Amino acid sequence: MFETLLFQLAFVVFIGLFSQWLAWRFRMPAIVVMSIAGLIIGPFTGLVVPQETFGPIFQTVVSLAVAVILFEGSLSLDFREIRGFRKSITRISTIGAAIAWLAGSAAAHYVAGLPWAVAFVIGGLFIVTGPTVILPLLRQAKLKERPAAILKWEGIIVDPFGALLALFAYQVVLALYQLEGGTSLGTFFISALLAALLGGVVGFSTGQALERGIIPEFLKSPMLLATVLIVFSLSDAIMHETGLLAVTVMGLVMGNMHLTSHHDLLHFKENISVILISTVFIMLTASLTLDTLVQIFDWRMLLFVLVMMFVVRPLSIWLSTINAGLSLQERALIGWIAPRGIVALTVSGYFATALQEAGFESAELLTALTLALVFATVIAHGFSIGWLAKKLGLQAGNSEGIIIVGASAFTNELAISLQQNNIDVLLMDRSWEDLSTARKSGVKTEVGDILSEHTEFHVDLTPYNQLIAATMQDAYNVLICADFVPSLGRKNIYQTALHSADPANYSRKYGGQVLVQNHIDIHELNYLIEHGASLKQTKITDVYTIDDYSQQNPNAVMIYALTAEGELILNMVEEYDKIKHSPHTIISLV
């Protein structure tokens, strides 16, 4: 029963997503948890043997999943995001990639002991990082805008080029050694050009069809997914590994057409990518054998990994970013962070087989070599990125940042109170004048519409993990909450009580959590402030409990609480018992 294809597939998907949840719950790198989970259910226990269970479709499923992941990543690349540091990304993706290729090939030859032909191929492949590993790390580390954007762009752009470089090197090797199975370099470049052209044309045509309403709303996401798969398959049929280039170009074109349905498509693709990344990573690690794992601990392999991490990567970044406008701290962080992931594992398997068939027996070590580099970089970079970013001053901020949308008498007072309690606050409104009180008190303010494209590309919102929508318009508050649910999570989004609608029906379904527990709306909160009320702090202890406070101050409106460790609690209803039985500071409107 448990060996059926149906159960094995469901089990792998569940383990993948459960690993993601464990990583989120205990604040660990998701890739690390997934790697360990895959090894446990695969080579360590034999519960899952993907290559036997899935048979010939194993590699096909993995390839299609990688195509969707890479397309989703490139769909999020908007050139407006990199104004001011486009030069850095261009250099890292070209000069840096070339240096990494040559240096990596030399390391594979002189350190790992591979012949030049095999080293040349694997050196090209190992320039990749990729969205499957970079994006989860960036979500975890909360880097500042510029280093985060550079790492994201490099991971997505270089991914297909790494596969193409390996393919190019493979064709060169076949030509030099006059082996069968090779194609002319002219054919290779024409195939790559056709793949890029196919992706660009289909991307533009699909974008136009979506924008003009030719495809109905309910079919947009499914149709786009099907189009991505057919573009990848068609390009890969022309020449192996060019499909990655085609879907990357397709996503890049569509991502910069500024489609009205862009956010809806992106959220759909992000959800699919989380499932695919989890599932594919579990499948790949579970498919490894104990013999392959033993090979990892060969001293030459371990030394090769260390050279790649501590010499090749820093060298390629530091040389390529000379006079590129990056600070020493940014170059140090980017020069360290380069985890390899799914693309390296899947593509290395193809080239290991192809090179062995061409007569290079030492190519059998490629899988173990790739696995050693993947595990080492995932673990080392996964656990160190947050610590290093903090040491270098490149972390966006602490985990208790909050955005307040809507400047008024109450929110000005709230923002000032939060800042006085060492909580990072950004108060945002469309009126410069309404922000003046908070601005004069030293609160960080921003003039503009939080839902506008200007805010998306010019205001750094990464330091903030919670949001309060407190404008005078109920519908606008709900719209803000709905827009930020995918990125912040519903439990971190609040809005002031609805003034003109039924709260039991409307806000719970579409908006965020109600900020004040007794459903006092923003108009009444402002009225209280304007008629002499203010935010006061009260220490809650075992002697003076919250019940004592409530009895002595029946008209007080509790707004938020702070734990003894400085943790911010906005959801006073659900956290009441927690506040009741431990020392806290209550901030109330009295």
Q: Give the least confident one: 238-247, 505-514, 544-553.
A: 505-514
DSSP 276-334: HHHHHHHHHHHT--HHHHHHHT-HHHHHHHHHIIIIIHHHHHHHHTTTSS--HHHHHHH
Mean pLDDT calculated for residue range 319-340: 90
Q: How many beta carbons lie within 10 A of that of residue 189, not counting itself?
A: 13
**Residue 397 domain flag:** no
pLDDT of 2 reads 59
**Residue 257 domain flag:** yes
Give the range of the structural domain holding residue 101, as residue numbers without chain letter.
Answer: 5-391
CATH number of the domain at 330, please.
1.20.1530.20
Q: Do residues 204 and 336 share a domain?
A: yes
User: Which DSSP state fits 340?
Assistant: -
β-pair partners for 468: 404, 494
CATH number of the domain at 571, please.
3.40.50.720
pLDDT of 259 reads 79
Q: Name the residue among 530, 464, 588, 382 with its Cα closest to residue 142.
A: 464
DSSP 3-state of 531: coil
pLDDT of 273 reads 73
How do strand 513-514 and strand 493-495 relate by DSSP bridges?
Answer: parallel
Residue where a domain stops, chosen among 366, 391, 416: 391
Could you report the per-residue pLDDT of 277-328, keeping only the tens digit for each?
788 878 878 887 888 788 788 888 899 999 999 999 999 999 999 988 889 9
Q: Do residues 118 and 266 share a domain?
A: yes
Q: How confident is the model at residue 102 (pLDDT cuts 50, 70, 90)?
A: very high
Q: Do residues 227 and 301 share a domain?
A: yes
Question: Is 447 or 160 the better-scoring residue by pLDDT?
Answer: 447
Radius of gyration of the chain measured on its C-alpha atoms: 27
Could you report the per-residue pLDDT of 33-55, keeping only the tens digit for each?
888 898 899 888 888 888 787 77
pLDDT of 139 reads 66
CA distance 483 to 475: 12
For a pLDDT cut of 70, what percent of the chain falls above it?
A: 88
CA distance 261 to 246: 22
Q: Please answer whether residues 182 and 232 qualify as being in contact, where contact means their C-beta atoms are separated by less than 8 angstroms.
A: no
What is the layout of strands, in order, in the sheet containing 493-495? 444-447, 425-429, 402-405, 466-469, 493-495, 513-514
**Residue 563 domain flag:** yes
Q: How many beta carbons lie within 10 A of that of residue 488, not counting itself?
A: 18
What's the total number of domains in the chain? 2
Q: Do residues 152 and 233 share a domain?
A: yes
Q: Please answer whether residues 109 and 116 qualify as being in contact, where contact means their C-beta atoms are separated by less than 8 angstroms.
A: yes
pLDDT of 269 reads 65
**Residue 362 domain flag:** yes
Please state at what angle helix 131-141 crosses helix 366-391, rounded to 10 degrees.
20
Q: Do residues 544 and 580 share a domain?
A: yes
Could you report the per-residue pLDDT of 416-433, keeping only the tens digit for each?
989 888 888 999 998 888
Q: Do residues 342 and 415 share a domain?
A: no
DSSP 64-96: HHHHHHHHHHHHT--GGGGTT-HHHHHHIIIII
CA distance 513 to 491: 7
**Residue 208 domain flag:** yes
CA distance 180 to 357: 10
Could you report the per-residue pLDDT of 168-184, keeping only the tens digit for each?
887 777 777 766 555 66
Residue where a domain stops, chosen among 370, 391, 412: 391
